[in-house]
Each structure stands twice: as C-alpha cells, then as structure tokens.
Structure 1
Amino acid sequence: MSATLPPYHRTAVRPDWRDLPDDLRQAVTARLGATVVTARTATAGFTGGFAAVLETATGERIFVKAADLARQRHLADWYARELAVLDRLPAGLPVPRPHWALAAAGWYAVGLDALDGRTPRLPWEPAELTAVLDGYAEVAAALAAPPPALTGLGLPRLADLARTDILWWGEVAAGREPVPPLPPPARHRLPELVALESRLPGYAAAASGLVHGDLRVDNVLLDPAGRAWFCDWNWLCHGPAWFDLAGLLITGYAAGVDLDAVFATHPAAAGAPPDALDVTLAALAGYYLTAAGPPPVAGTSPGGQVAVPDPAGASPLLWAHRRFSGEQALGWLAARQGWR
C-alpha cells in the first residue's frame, strides 16, 4: 500500500482567534466568564471552520469550534449535530463532552472538552495502534445496542448513505463519472469493484448498532497516558462497527503489521460477513478516488502536496488525503484479491 501521506498534524487552514468578529469573541468570552489569554488553533483536520483550544485567565481550557452561518452553514449544522450526539453518548466513553453553544455576529460556536492529546504517529507504532483498537472496541461495544437517547435524534442509516453518497464504481461503470487514476492491478477490475461495493447497503442494513461513520486517524487523539479519544461525531449513523474499523485502518499505514489479522481479530469484526472487509475497501476506494478527481494543478503546498483554494475554506490537502486513502483501500483490496 502507498505510504505517501498527507501530514495529519498540519493539514488545516483555519482562522485564528484574532480573526473572528469582535462580537463573536465577546460572546464567547462572556460565556467563559473570563478573558481568553491564549488560543491554540487546531492544525489537524480538513474543514475551514475555526477550531482552537482557548485558555482563560482563570486557567480554564475549552475547545471551541465556530463557523460562519452564511459561508459555512454546513459546518454549523455539523457542529450542532455533533453537540447533540456528544450530549447523548453513554457516560465513560473516551469522547469529548459538550459544554455550550451560542450564535453571535452571524456565526455559530460550540464549546467542548479540551482534550490533551495528539494524533497517532504513522506508520502505526504497535503500542499506539493497540491503544486505538482497544479504545474503539470500547466504543463499538457501547453502541452495539443503540441507546434510546441517540436513536431519538433520527440518525441516518449507513445503508442509505451508501446508496446516495458512498458507492461510485457503478457510476464510473455507467459513464456518469470519469474513471479515476488506477494502479495497474486494478485497471481492468471495474466489474469486480462494482460487484463488491454493491453488497454494502445490504450488509449495513442488517446491522443493529451505531457507528461513528467518519473514523479516521485524524479523528483520534492519544492522551499523555496513551489512551485513545475519539472526536468529530457529526456522522453517527446506524451501521456495522466493522465499517468504522476498515475506514480507520485505511487512513493510516503500518510497516510489518498484518492488517488482515488486525481486522479479523478485532471485536468490531465479530459476526461480519466473510467478505465485509473487501466490500468496504471497494466502496471506500471508489468514494475517495472519485472525490479526489484528477490531480489538481492550482499550486503546491509547502509540504509538497497539491494545494487548491476552496471557497468554503476546506484544506488544500483534502484532495491529497482522499487520493491517499483511496489508494490505500484499493491497494489493500488488490493484495487480498490477488490482482496482478
């Protein structure tokens, strides 16, 4: 699998605290009850919303996300959904807890626990990979029987999301989407890719639990004690935990680690259909590679990745991330299928 990885710890392009409207900063300060003395902008992530750990004169630390309601309404909606989900997740899980929400100066802001942590190092270090896998096993077990407080939110179903947003090889085969750049082992495998991805909705519909829905390396933090914490819960949906597990594993890479065994022996994969991993890899490969599109040419970032301006403020490394993740998924699938 490819090891050309966007640097997850410095992907984001965000406004700083001083860039926010005065009225918004005053509203947040009033909610905090003390002057903000330091603001550390989050450098990970791919959206252009404000995200920073604020520390007040009294020593309180809080993680604040904010979005412009006119230009970034989708982000504001995501933050509101995440706040509702975090408020209802079972107690004791390694997730940030919500504090408040407010609207001011045409912006929407939320305050969450400020986690003291960092994204895992890649290639995966064995101890960190174990910590993340153990942490997700805890989360998956807690969501296997959906708490009524969460299901009352009217959460989407992965089966429906797959049909409307994830499955793209069928569109490519029908000529409605261009064929993305493919490595040699997969160039003549479009029929197999279509057949594999088409099974995802049926498999997902049979699952009774809830899944994070966007489990990637950059949505995980490791605290100083080595415990994994899981962030960005705006895509919680009904679906199988093995989908989360596969999605997590393709957004990183591991030298000398048997990822097939990691997947097969993880509690989240218990009871999965025999081809669940192949089905997920095919679907996510198509999703990421078609979303990445052809290689952009607008410029190059200091890290060497292609940079493309986005009017909604998305990271210029988003396309590189999609391409990397799609290549990881397709490379893993090709190895498992014996494609040459």
Structure 2
Amino acid sequence: MTAADTLPDDEDDDAPAGALALEIEIAADAAGGRLDKTLAEAAADLSRARIQALLADGLISLEGVPLSDASAKARPGLYRILVPPPAPAIPEPEAIPLTVLYEDAHLIVIDKPAGMAAHPGPGTERGTLVNALLHHCGDSLSGIGGVARPGVVHRLDKDTSGVMVAAKTDAAHQGLSALFAAHDIDRVYVALTRGAPNPPKGTVETRIGRSASDRKKMAVLKSSGREAITHYRVEQAFGPQERPLAARVACRLETGRTHQIRVHMAHKGAPCLGDPTYGSGPPALPVREAIAAAGLARQALHAAVLGFVHPITGEALRFETEPPADMRDLERRLAEL
C-alpha cells in the first residue's frame, strides 16, 4: 500500500482550482477493511475525517469511478484523491438570521440555535455564529479573539442551544474575559437526562481533560486536567418515582470547561438524552420513543440563563430563554410517562 507523489494541478482537468492530486495503490492483501480507514492509513497527511469529507464531495475515485460511501469495503486498485486548497483563514460575513436579545455599542447577546458552531473550524468553515456576527456587526466586532474567532468570549457546543454573549469592542472583550476567568458569570443550563442524578441536588467537583483513549472526547481525570465544578438540581423526574426514566436538571456552572455539563452528567450516571458522545448506553424504550417522536437529534442541553455585569457601563444584565421546540416537545412527552 503506497502513496504516489503529488501530481501537478494541470494534470487533472476535473480537480478543483488549486487542488492537489494524490494516487494511492491499495494491494489485494490490504483491501477488505473500511474504505475511509484504509485510505487514511495509506495517506499519512490526511485524517480519517478528512477522507470522509473528500468522499462526500466526490473527490475520491477508484480506477476513474467516483466513490462516496466511507463505510464500504476497500477494494484493491489505484485510488485518486483530489485535495482542494485550504479554505481562507479569515471568516466571511454571512447573512444568517440571529435572535438578538440585547445589543449596544460594546456587546451583543444572542440566543444561539442548535446546529450552529460558535466559530469556524475544520469541516465547519461557514454557517457559524462568527460568520453571522461579522455580517450583523460589521467592522465593530472585537478582534481580540483572532481572525477566526472575532468577538468570541465563550462558546457553546455546536448542538447546544442558548444564550451567548459576544464582544463588539476590545475593551468589552477584555472585561468579559475577566468576568469569565473570575467565574463571576451566572450561567444556568437545562438538561434532559437519562434517569436522574443521585442525590437529586448536589455539586460535581472533578478535574476534566482530554480522554486518553479518545482525544476527541473529554473525561474526568484523577490528577491532570483542569478543575471543573457544576452545581445541579433535579427540577422534575419523569417515570416511576423510585427509579426515574428521565429528568429535567438545572446545572449551574462555576467553571466552564469543554463539554463540562455533558461529562459531569454522564459521570453521575445520568447523561444528557441524545448525546452521541457521552450517552453511554440507550435510555429506556419509552424514552427512546419520546425522543424519536419529538425529533430530537442532538444532546438535550440548553444554556437557559446568562447573567453578568456589563464590563463598560456597570449595569447588571440577566438573560433567560426557554429551550427550543425539540426539547420542549420531548419534555412534554416525558411528563406523560
């Protein structure tokens, strides 16, 4: 299984402008595994996720026939991979509608929908909150976050909905960052969980860092990682009182680590419903049926409350939004269990 030299751009008329063309020979004894995995192992400079994206875009072919199914078995033969040039590092403004809760000359508070990434990243170059803010705010957006993350002070996971604040000036960015660093921000999330954490009210205090077994996941660690503190309270349990099938849990963040609530709820044995990363097993059948009926296709987590002192004016601000339709519908169905 060998990778050929990169081909000049002008040798492939079908290649995107500026693309590089790779040729990879898969021998018979190396065939039979998943296509994306096999090609990623052969092309040292391309990750499996990148191979999957190229397949989806029709940029990988076998003996001249385009391929698209990443899970198909790899067949022996000569594969051609067209690799487009990197996307521009500077995000482009996009006219994406925003639900604005508050805005002045210094900052903007929005209710982020599920499915929108906070800022551009690999595989998510467009359609992000930053793209929308660049169009909405124009040149007023703070530049402290760098060219890829202007105005971004904190993040919500792509599939977590709720209240976010972004800075429009450097002074506001510095002030908001100081508030977050000092944990002087009121942040409350609503989670719908599998089962209910026990006891029904308490504090989870651990250290969180990258998982040793999967670098894309976070995990509770014994010694390394960073301190993570979540205060939680079960607001309503659904199903049998002695053994709830699901629950609505309010989580107040004292720290703000990556995936903190998702990791902490899973650590308590009550992961967020619909969480593809930390779900650790299916919920009871009635809950699965409720999830399907509600159309929930993400983790059931919503940033409901954001409160802080305006870093420029000193005004106390507090914003609260209800969960979006998918979570509200799921909660209604869970209440009927």
Q: TM-score, normalised by structure 1?
A: 0.28
Higher relative contact order (CA 8 A, sep 6+): 1
Bigger share in strand? 2
Bigger share in helix? 1
Which protein has the larger Cα radius of gyration, Structure 1 or Structure 2? 2
Q: TM-score, normalised by structure 2?
A: 0.28
